[in-house]
Structure 1
Amino acid sequence: MTTPEQEQQMLHAKLNMETSQIAWSELLRFFAGGHVIVVSNDLDLVDVAARFSIDDTAAVQQWLSDGKIARATDEQARAWLEPDALLWTVVARPWVLVQENKPA
């Protein structure tokens, strides 16, 4: 029997393995469907995906109200389209969470 802590660790490991850099052009259909969520660089993308996966409404609502996560805007989509930007991406169905490369 696994403990809640072990389950959380397994979820984080699974999501971490599913995280990759994807070109914006590959994400356009999800953007068109309103399913792309932009995650602030000061949050851990995998942790945010885990919170989405377990329906941690309190954390998600807090991030929304703090402006730490938001649906991708048309302006962001245009900015990413020309250079076909690579974004860190992970799926937390039905959402596709994206994060720009963190500055060095």
Structure 2
Amino acid sequence: MTDQQKVPLAQKLNLETAQISWKELEPYFAGGKLISVSSDLDMLIVAEQIVADNAPVMKGWMAEEKVGQVSDEQAMRWSTDNTLLWAVVIKPWILVQERSTH
């Protein structure tokens, strides 16, 4: 593949983002693989920062509780409501984000 044929990371991530039900994500939650992204952040920018291994930015978001492991409380609420979440895979993680409907 030539450089011209390579898809930019942001575009590739956008194409790989999809809605998925919580029920389908539950096994990954049980395995500790789900990362919650606050709805006030762009999930694709978070994904790019993970790929870039940008630890200072990630630590800042984690300190502000904008990015982190899905909590038991979130999991229980999403399970009860069978919430649809936006998700993108950044191995070994799956980033998930609840979008407001307002």
- Whether the 8 Å contact between 1:41 and 1:102 is mirrored in structure 2 is yes
Shift of 1:44: 0.1
Which TM-score applies when normalising by structure 2?
A: 0.89
Ranges in structure 2 where 5+ consecutive residues have no aligned partner: none
- Whether the 8 Å contact between 1:36 and 1:95 is mirrored in structure 2 is yes
Identify the residue that residue 83 of structure 2 maps to in structure 1. 85
Moved over 6 A (4+): none
- Whether the 8 Å contact between 1:53 and 1:93 is mirrored in structure 2 is no
Across the aligned residues of Structure 1 and Structure 2, the Cα RMSD in angstroms comes to 1.7
Ranges in structure 1 where 5+ consecutive residues have no aligned partner: none
Shift of 1:73: 1.0
Secondary structure at the counterpart of residue 101 of structure 1: coil
Identify the residue that residue 10 of structure 2 maps to in structure 1. 12
Identify the residue that residue 63 of structure 2 maps to in structure 1. 65
- Whether the 8 Å contact between 1:63 and 1:69 is mirrored in structure 2 is yes
Secondary structure at the counterpart of residue 85 of structure 2: strand
1-side partners of 2:19 and 2:101: how far apart?
A: 15
Identify the residue that residue 44 of structure 1 maps to in structure 2. 42
1-side partners of 2:35 and 2:101: how far apart?
A: 20
Secondary structure at the counterpart of residue 39 of structure 2: coil
Identify the residue that residue 26 of structure 1 maps to in structure 2. 24
Which TM-score applies when normalising by structure 1?
A: 0.88
Percent identity over the alignment is 42
Secondary structure at the counterpart of residue 67 of structure 1: coil
1-side partners of 2:29 and 2:36: how far apart?
A: 11
Shift of 1:102: 2.7
